[in-house]
Amino acid sequence: MAARSTATSLLSRRLGAAAVRTSAAALFDASFDSLKLSFLPEAVIFPRNKADIGVVLLLANEHNIPVTVRGRGTSLTGSAAPRRGGWVIDLLQFDRIKIDVTAGMAEVEAGAKVADIQNAAEKVGWFYPPDPSSKEYCTIGGNVACNSGGMHGGKYGVTRDFVMALKGFMPNGDWVEWGTPTRKYAAGFNLRDLWIGSEGMLGIVTDAVLRLIPQPAARWTLLLSFSTEAAAFRAVAKLFRLRVRPAICEFLDRYSVQCAEAATGETVFPGQPGRPVILLELAGSPAEIRAERLILLKWARENALAFRAAKTREDAERLWAVRRKCSGAMFELGDSKLNEDIVVPLRSYGKFVRFIDGLRRSSQLSIPCFGHLGDGNIHVNIMYRGADPEQRRAAEAAVEELMAAVVKLGGAISGEHGIGLAKSPFLRLQHSPAQVNAMMAVKSALDPKGILNPGKMFEVFPVWEHKRLSIALPWDHK
Ligand SMILES: Cc1cc2nc3c(=O)[nH]c(=O)nc-3n(C[C@H](O)[C@H](O)[C@H](O)COP(=O)(O)OP(=O)(O)OC[C@H]3O[C@@H](n4cnc5c(N)ncnc54)[C@H](O)[C@@H]3O)c2cc1C
């Protein structure tokens, strides 16, 4: 520890005391993310310019200091928490956004907020589709590091599908540029894509060039209810067979709908409380919407119990209320929530519904599910009372069972949140020893001293043995 504080003093002399903060408040603020497990760093660094990041990494390698990069700290897995202490680099001040209207690209700095990028693009007729629910807070650097996704994923894809080029620093402090601001790129190993989803463990992103698509001229929203979750899933499979790809295809099971209905005091479909629903949104040119709307209406009549289409944007907003309300409203079912962002392949949807029903029975917990049916990324919300040891044990066991089942069904233990600390116990369920060894070999080739974000992903972290902070964050209940 003495060696670390000597290195911190050295860094402070190089960058200036204003760039290297060590106050108790600064250290605490940088010690956790949305998983709310706290690990205090020795210093939080606010680089004056990008070259400072290289200086930090050079010194960190020289003195064996762990370095964790931080965007906004909305990660739900603990990936942004400095598990081994050391230095946290805060990149929020690098937030420039420049839209190239001709090429349809956004040149952005890592600390730019995702909603700001979307808004800047929209103002000039372009669209950046990846839209995590946290987009009003999270940064594009964090989105690249976690390969984040959102409701538009089923039709348009996730962050990876929109990154053309990245700039930043290798763990040893070398400046690198991966990819070019061009739509095609086949010049050597693709380390750009290796950085995407690497959770701040293989490099530090300072800049990104993002592909944009034309802003859809029109949107059309349809809300449908079904008798059962299985019926809803079967209907969606039929829709995909009709070759219709809605821009958004959100599913809420009956428990999620019941939560939203309790919160608003209104039934989504009068006379049919607590039915599973699907919320669809078409996006495209008016002609495309007209053609797809006809197909959708016929499909809705044949498959849904009831449905309602939006005639105006205000109508659409009203249809969206059930989706917007459900997540926060779940806290009526328990003060603690494990939001597991698993993915199941379309062919396994039916088996998944049966599994979740069984899990509810065996765990005796409330487990409302909702999510992006367009890409199979379903959020399984295990609700429990944090102070009740029996419920805590049941929740822990339910997560274990869920992860094993998802892998057995051919799915993924995470679709967008990543591994970090929270999912580290399950990495080896998803990956064979050969696969894990290959990933670890990449890590040690690029970061031989293990400087960047150590103690994550590959080391099994016993999340349940650690007490979470009981503090409210601005994005809680979103
Ligand atoms: C209410 C809520 C809703 C959410 N909804 C979604 C959702 O719909 N979809 C989704 O995908 N996620 C969602 N998330 C998770 C989270 O918002 C994303 O993972 C997001 O990408 C994190 O961004 P951040 O700026 O907060 O990064 P942080 O949390 O600060 O960091 C996350 C990881 O990225 C690394 N990192 C950050 N910046 C950089 C950089 N410049 N270079 C290299 N590594 C970096 C960190 O080291 C860390 O490993 C949600 C979270 C909350 C709290």
Q: How far is the CA of 356 from the centre of ligand 1 (A)?
A: 27
CATH of 219-322 given 3.20.20.80, 3.40.50.2300, 3.40.630.30, 3.30.70.3450 = 3.30.70.3450
The pLDDT value given to residue 21: 98
CATH code for residues 97-214: 3.30.465.10
What DSSP character marks residue 216?
P
Handedness of CA 168, 171, 176, 180 (dihedral sign): negative
Burial of 401-419, coded b for 16+ CB within 10 Å and e otherwise, reads ebbebbbebebbbbbbbbb
Write down the domain spans for the chain: 2-90, 97-214, 219-322, 333-446
Query: Per-residue pLDDT for 31 more than 80?
Result: yes
Q: Is 275 helix (H, G, I), strand (E, B) or coil?
A: coil
Query: Per-residue pLDDT for 116 more than 90?
Result: yes
> Which pTM does this prediction carry?
0.96
CATH code for residues 2-90: 3.30.43.10
The rounded distance, in Å, linking the Cα atoms of 457 and 86 is 18
* The ligand 1 atom nearest the CA atom of 149: 11
Q: Output phi, psi for 96, to 5 deg.
A: -70, 145
The pLDDT value given to residue 2: 77
Angle at CA of residue 323, ends 317 and 325, nearest 5°: 95
**Residue matched to tokens 């909702």:** 370
* The ligand 1 atom nearest the CA atom of 475: 1
Q: How far is the CA of 450 from the centre of ligand 1 (A)?
A: 21
Check if the beta carbon of residue 67 is closer than 8 Å to that of residue 86.
yes
Q: Which of 109, 116, 134, 372 to mutate to test the pocket of ligand 1 (most atoms within 8 A of CB)?
A: 134
Burial of 154-184, coded b for 16+ CB within 10 Å and e otherwise, reads bbbebbbebbbbbbbbbbbbeeeebbeeeee
Q: 476 pLDDT band (50/70/90 cuts)?
A: confident
Q: 438 pLDDT band (50/70/90 cuts)?
A: very high
Do the domains 333-446 and 2-90 match in fold?
Answer: no
Cα 17 to the chain's mean position, in Å?
Answer: 34
Q: How far is the CA of 139 from the centre of ligand 1 (A)?
A: 7
Q: 78 pLDDT band (50/70/90 cuts)?
A: very high
* The ligand 1 atom nearest the CA atom of 415: 11
pLDDT digit string, tens, across residues 327-383: 999 999 999 999 999 999 999 999 999 999 999 999 999 999 999 998 999 999 999
Q: Ligand 1: which residues within 6 Å by Cβ?
A: 33-34, 68-76, 79-80, 91, 110, 132-134, 138-139, 141-143, 145-146, 148-150, 199-200, 204-205, 416-417, 453, 475, 478
The rounded distance, in Å, linking the Cα atoms of 77 and 127 is 28
Q: How far is the CA of 73 from the centre of ligand 1 (A)?
A: 6
Q: 211 pLDDT band (50/70/90 cuts)?
A: very high
CATH 3.40.50.300 for domain 333-446: no
338: left (phi over 0), alpha (psi -120 to 50) or beta: beta
Q: How far is the CA of 142 from the centre of ligand 1 (A)?
A: 4
